[in-house]
Structure 1
Amino acid sequence: MKRVLIISPYFPPVNAADMHRVRMSLPYYKSFGWEAELVTVNPKHSEISIDEMLLKNIPNEIIIHQVEAFNYKWTRKFGLGSIALRSLWFYKKRVNQILKNEHFDLIFFSTTQFPLLILGNYWKNKFKIPYVIDMQDPWHSTYYNDKPVNERPPKYWFSYQLNKYLEPIAMNAVDGLISVSQGYLDTLENRYKRLIKVPQQVIPFGILKKDFEWVRQNEKHFKQHYIKKNEQIDFVYVGRGGYDMRKAVVLLFNAFKEGLKTNNEQFRNIRFHFIGTSYAPEGKGVPTILPIANEMGITAYVNEQTDRISLYQSIYTLMNADALIILGSEDQQYTGSKVFPYIMAERPLLAILHPESSATQILLNCNAADIISIMAPENQSTELIYNYLYKASLRKILSKKTNWPAFDSYSAENLCKQQCELFNKVLIS
Structure 2
Amino acid sequence: MKKILIITPHYPPSNLAAVHRSRLFAQHLPLFGWKPVLLTVHEDYYEEELDWNLHKLLPSDQQIEKTAAYKVTKPRIVGDIGLRAFFQLRKRALELVQKEKIDFVYIPIPSFYVSLIGPYLHRKTGVKYGIDYIDPWVHVFPGSDQLFSRHWFSTKLAKWLEPKAVKNAALITGVAEGYYQGVIERNPHLKQRCVFGAMPYGGEAADHAGLKQLNLKPYLFEANNKLQFVYAGAMLPKAYAPLEEIFKTVSANKELFADVEFHFIGTGKTPNDPQGYNIKPIAERYGLWQSVVFEYPKRIPYLDVLIHLEAADAVFILGSTEPHYTPSKTYQGVLSKKPILAVLHSASTAVDVLRKSGAGLVLAFNGEEGLDQVPTGFVSLFNQFRAFQQNFNANAIDQTAFELYSAKSVTAVLARLLDAVHGN
Structure 1 and Structure 2 fold alike (TM over 0.5): yes
Contact 2:119–2:165 (8 Å) recurs in 1: yes
Contact 2:143–2:152 (8 Å) recurs in 1: no
**Deviation string, structure 1 residues 207-255 (Cα, Å, up to 9, x no partner):** 211111111444x32223124322x221110010254211221132122
**Deviation string, structure 1 residues 30-77 (Cα, Å, up to 9, x no partner):** 2211111110010111111211111233222221100111101x1x62
The aligned counterpart of 1:88 is 86
User: What are the residue-to-residue correspondences of 1:29-428 with 2, within 5 Å?
Assistant: 29-72=29-72, 74=73, 77=75, 79-144=77-142, 155-197=150-192, 198-218=194-214, 220-230=215-225, 232-260=226-254, 264=255, 266-278=256-268, 280-283=270-273, 286-300=276-290, 301-333=292-324, 335=326, 338-360=329-351, 362-364=353-355, 366-375=357-366, 377-390=370-383, 397-399=390-392, 401-428=396-423
The answer for unaligned runs of 5 or more in structure 1 is: none
| Counterpart Cα distance in 2 of 1:216 and 1:166 | 46
The answer for unaligned runs of 5 or more in structure 2 is: none
Change (3 A) 1:85 1:272: same
The aligned counterpart of 1:12 is 12
What amino acid is aligned across from residue 258 of structure 1 in structure 2? A
CA RMSD of aligned residues (A): 2.6
Contact 1:391–1:397 (8 Å) recurs in 2: no
**Deviation string, structure 1 residues 178-209 (Cα, Å, up to 9, x no partner):** 21111123222111112323211111111211
Contact 2:68–2:85 (8 Å) recurs in 1: yes
> Could you tell me how far 1:358 is from its partner in structure 2?
4.4
Contact 2:242–2:371 (8 Å) recurs in 1: no
Greater Cα shift, 204-213 or 27-36: 27-36
Contact 1:234–1:272 (8 Å) recurs in 2: yes
**Deviation string, structure 1 residues 121-149 (Cα, Å, up to 9, x no partner):** 11111110111111111111125357999
| Counterpart Cα distance in 1 of 2:105 and 2:384 | 51
Change (3 A) 1:378 1:157: closer
Instruction: Using structure 1 for the length normalisation, give the TM-score.
Output: 0.89
What amino acid is aligned across from residue 327 of structure 1 in structure 2? L
Instruction: Using structure 2 for the length normalisation, give the TM-score.
Output: 0.90
What amino acid is aligned across from residue 124 of structure 1 in structure 2? H
Change (3 A) 1:118 1:357: farther
| Counterpart Cα distance in 1 of 2:351 and 2:85 | 36
Structure 2 counterpart SS, 1:77: coil
What amino acid is aligned across from residue 160 of structure 2 in structure 1? Y
What amino acid is aligned across from residue 209 of structure 1 in structure 2? A
| Counterpart Cα distance in 1 of 2:97 and 2:213 | 42
> Could you tell me how far 1:6 is from its partner in structure 2?
0.6
Number of residue-to-residue matches in the alignment: 417
Change (3 A) 1:399 1:85: farther
Contact 1:181–1:333 (8 Å) recurs in 2: yes
| Counterpart Cα distance in 2 of 1:112 and 1:16 | 11
Question: Among the aligned pairs, what percent are the same residue?
Answer: 27
